[in-house]
Amino acid sequence: MDNLWLYVIIGLIILVLGAGLVYGLMRGGGRAETPIDEREAPRQAPPGLPAEDMDRSPGQATGAAPAPEQPGQPSEGPTEIGVEEIIPAPAVERPESARGRLQRLRARLARSNSAIGKGLLALLSRGKLDEEAWEEVEDTLIASDLGVEAATQLVDSLRTQVKVEGATDEATVRDWLRKDLLELVQPDMDRRIASSRVGIRPAVILVVGVNGTGKTTTVGKLARVLVAEDRDVLLGAADTFRAAAADQLETWGGRVGVPTVRSDKEGADPAAVAFDAVKAGIEQEVDVVIIDTAGRLHNKVGLMDELGKIKRVIEKQSDIDEVLLVLDATTGQNGLQQAKVFAEAVDITGIVLTKLDGTAKGGIVVSVQNQLGVPVKLVGLGEGPDDLAPFDPEAFVDAIVS
């Protein structure tokens, strides 16, 4: 009997152990636990990547939250490290050659000079010319901004030819007028723009003028003229007082692949910017550096002194080969007063006349050259990017008397 109970107890123990084993196998899915020494070791961070970034997506910066997916857009997955988006460079324009540009714009020029052209021819060709008629001719010339001295000189020459030849038909008078006007415009003046390297340095052009003459635009258009002549150009944005000036200049240069040296700080020392631009031009071995300066009132002594400072600072490392004064041709005699003051502050080598296609009178070309003794080198005849033309005396006179 005792043996029977012993067998019953042993059987119950075996039954309990068997049930436990079955339960354990069911919970563990039949898998045995891996010994601790065979488990995977903790992952090590690669060199240069903080440990806390190991579980981040590749390319995600330290401390940055995962970038949210845009609604309605599928996830593109992680981005590879070091792969950057390639943004196509803007297309660089190739300006047309500036040669012969003034001839193509003769129609615009002729329209703006009807007083000195057609009106004058009508006066001279109407028959008998008495003193009253000659006074009217002289008044017409003065009204065209030719200036009193030049108008008197032209009238005296015409009166002599009429007296000697005795002919006053329009064709003959046109020939006389063309010859005398061309002489007044002085075609023998050197109108070349300094644009070639001088020894080991680039040519340096300083552009000055009063507010509102279109100075920065003129610098941009001049860069196009020089690029069309296969010159390597660099621009200097020394107009640091007008917030948009440097941006405007940079845009002009970018269109034709010309770099711009500028300051990111508004109100920076313009002389320092000009200095840096010339220095960069020397280092980059460009052909020409063009410096844009702030517009200034000609009657403000402090501003004119600052212009002199810019010139002196540039000359610490390079000569200035060209100082171009930009004048608004529509201002007439007032523009001449501005020109005189600028000529006292810096040595003007050439004049740029803008807006010559508007209400301007062509005689301003003659008067400004007579007053300053320097040539008109460029004229602006429109708003287009290629409407700045090298001044051609013969094309100019032909446009007047056509």
Is 377 annotated among the ligand-binding residues?
Answer: no
Is 329 annotated among the ligand-binding residues?
Answer: no
Q: Which two tokens stand for residue 37?
A: 């020494």
For residue 343, how many C-alpha atoms fall within 13 Å in the half-sphere facing its CB?
17
Report how far residue 70's alpha carbon sits from residue 384's, in angstroms, rounded to the nearest whole number: 43
Report how far residue 231's alpha carbon sits from residue 221's, in angstroms, rounded to the nearest whole number: 14
Is 286 annotated among the ligand-binding residues?
Answer: no
Closest CA to 397 of 230, 179, 114: 179
Is 308 annotated among the ligand-binding residues?
Answer: no
Is 210 annotated among the ligand-binding residues?
Answer: yes
Is 357 annotated among the ligand-binding residues?
Answer: yes
Is 330 annotated among the ligand-binding residues?
Answer: no
Is beta strand 233-238 parallel, antiparallel or unpaired with respect to 376-380? unpaired
DSSP letter for 38, please.
G
Is 172 annotated among the ligand-binding residues?
Answer: no
Is 299 annotated among the ligand-binding residues?
Answer: no
Q: Which two tokens stand for residue 318?
A: 């390079």
Is 296 annotated among the ligand-binding residues?
Answer: yes
Is 221 annotated among the ligand-binding residues?
Answer: no
Is 184 annotated among the ligand-binding residues?
Answer: no
Report how far residue 172's alpha carbon sits from residue 62's, in angstroms, rounded to the nearest whole number: 86
Report how far residue 235's alpha carbon sits from residue 220's, in angstroms, rounded to the nearest whole number: 9
Is 213 annotated among the ligand-binding residues?
Answer: yes
Per DSSP, which regions of 210-270 are E strands?
A: 233-238, 260-261
Is 215 annotated among the ligand-binding residues?
Answer: yes
Quick check: 362 and 379 in contact, CB under 8 A? no
Strands of the sheet with 388-390, listed across from one edge: 260-261, 233-238, 288-293, 203-209, 322-328, 350-354, 376-380, 388-390
How buried is residue 19: exposed, middle or buried, by Cβ count under 10 Å (0-12/13-18/19+)? Answer: exposed
Is 79 annotated among the ligand-binding residues?
Answer: no
What lies within 8 Å, CB to CB, of 273 at 6+ separation is 236, 237, 238, 240, 261, 262, 263
Q: List the beta bridge partners of residue 208.
A: 325
DSSP letter for 241, please.
S
- Cβ-count burial 304-329 (b if 16+ within 10 Å, e if not): bebbeebbebbeeebebbbbbbbbbb
Point out the annotated binding site for GTP.
209-216, 292-296, 354-357
Enumerate the known binding-site residues: 209-216, 292-296, 354-357
